[in-house]
């Protein structure tokens, strides 16, 4: 499949966080520390879930890893490079070069076709649509079973199909890590299983790491590693002894 990145056993972890804290509204009466010194390493090619009750800090942590927000303290290395306090331009480039995103709601642009939606990360990085990007997007849509839907707009697709387009888009620039925030939470059971199977298949075939936030214990149990967040700390971090493969 197009866009597979070679794996380097000597390369640093994709994510290495040490003592990361996040405080909202610092210095105000409403000041609240949400993350209390997170230590977290995500290795290349891992397939991990992030679980925890509402309010435990999962979304906040994912936003920090995804460079959508800044930590209040601690160290964050992305591919071995300190990135926590980097400027906007550096963070934007690092996001495009290293990270892919899948959300609970697909966030497809309604005026764009499925093909153009998959090409959007390339447009953001290159400033234009390219023929290479178009070919890669077609290959990704084929890989998620939507070769015949390339010219359809999101409103013409089912919810499961829209999420498959979003998964293809997350892989458009061959990221080292895909962050998936409740990627199956808005889908029926069969569509959720299909979407999860795609994530697992891309992990196995491309060597791309995945960190999946989920409230679904079935899906968490099918990952290789389960990281449990509670009250802003990592309470448990365990390997799954016999992970299920792409099927239920």
pLDDT digits (tens, 9 = 90+) for 31-76: 899 999 999 999 999 999 999 988 888 989 999 999 999 999 999 9
The 10s digit of each residue's pLDDT in 112-161 is 999 999 999 988 888 888 899 899 999 999 988 999 999 999 999 988 88
d(C-alpha 84, C-alpha 47), whole Å = 23
The DSSP secondary structure of 7-75, one letter per residue, reads: P-TTSPPSEEEEEEEEEESTTSTT-EEEEEEEEEEE-TT-EEEEE--TTSSHHHHHHHHTTSS--SEEE
Query: How many whole angstroms separate alpha carbon 98 and alpha carbon 121?
Result: 12
Give tens-digit pLDDT for 190-205.
878 888 888 898 999 8
Contact (CB, 8 A) for 129 and 137: no
Q: Is the pLDDT of residue 79 over 80?
A: yes
pLDDT of residue 11 exceeding 70, the answer is yes
**Residue 79 CA to its chain's centroid (Å):** 15
Supply the pLDDT for residue 190. Answer: 81
| Residue-by-residue DSSP string for 83-146 | -TT--HHHHHHHHHHHEEEEESS----TTS-HHHHHHHHHHHHHSS--HHHHHHHHHHHHHTT-
pTM, two decimal places:
0.87
Rounded to whole angstroms, the Cα distance separating 128 from 116 reads 11
Q: Tokens representing 80? A: 């071995």
Dihedrals phi, psi of 104, to nearest 5 degrees: -60, -40
What lies within 8 Å, CB to CB, of 246 at 6+ separation is 196, 197, 200, 201, 204
Q: In what order do the strands lie in the sheet with 73-78?
A: 32-42, 15-24, 73-78, 81-82
SS3 state of residue 176: coil
pLDDT at 241: 67
Rg, the chain, Cα only: 18
Q: Coil, strand, or helix at residue 158?
A: coil
Which SS3 state, helix, strand or coil, does residue 200 take?
A: helix
Domain 46-70+83-239: give its CATH architecture. 3-Layer(aba) Sandwich (3.40)
HSE-up of 104 (CA within 13 Å, CB side)?
A: 10
Greatest Cα-to-Cα distance within the chain, rounded to the nearest angstrom: 55
């Amino acid at each position: 499949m197009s866009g597979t990145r070679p794996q380097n056993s000597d390369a640093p972890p994709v994510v290495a966080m040490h003592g990361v804290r996040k405080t909202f509204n610092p210095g105000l009466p409403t000041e609240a520390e949400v993350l209390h010194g997170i230590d977290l390493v995500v290795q290349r090619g891992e397939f991990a879930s992030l679980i925890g009750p509402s309010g435990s800090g999962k979304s906040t942590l994912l936003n920090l890893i995804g460079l959508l927000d800044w930590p209040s303290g601690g160290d964050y290395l992305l591919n071995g490079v300190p990135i926590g306090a980097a400027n906007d331009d550096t963070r934007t480039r690092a996001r495009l070069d290293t990270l892919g995103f899948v959300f609970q709601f697909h966030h497809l642009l309604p005026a764009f076709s499925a093909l153009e939606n998959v090409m959007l990360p390339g447009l953001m990085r290159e400033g234009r649509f390219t023929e290479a990007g178009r070919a890669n997007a077609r290959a990704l849509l084929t890989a998620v079973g939507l070769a015949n839907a390339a010219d359809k707009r999101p409103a013409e697709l089912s919810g499961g199909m829209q999420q498959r387009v979003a998964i293809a888009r997350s892989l458009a620039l061959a990221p080292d890590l895909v962050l998936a925030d409740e990627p199956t939470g808005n889908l029926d059971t069969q569509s959720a299983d299909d979407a999860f199977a795609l994530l697992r298949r891309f992990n196995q075939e491309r060597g791309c790491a995945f960190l999946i936030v989920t409230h679904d214990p079935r899906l968490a149990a099918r990952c290789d590693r389960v990281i449990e967040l509670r009250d802003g700390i990592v309470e448990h971090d365990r390997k799954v002894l016999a992970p299920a493969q792409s099927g239920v």
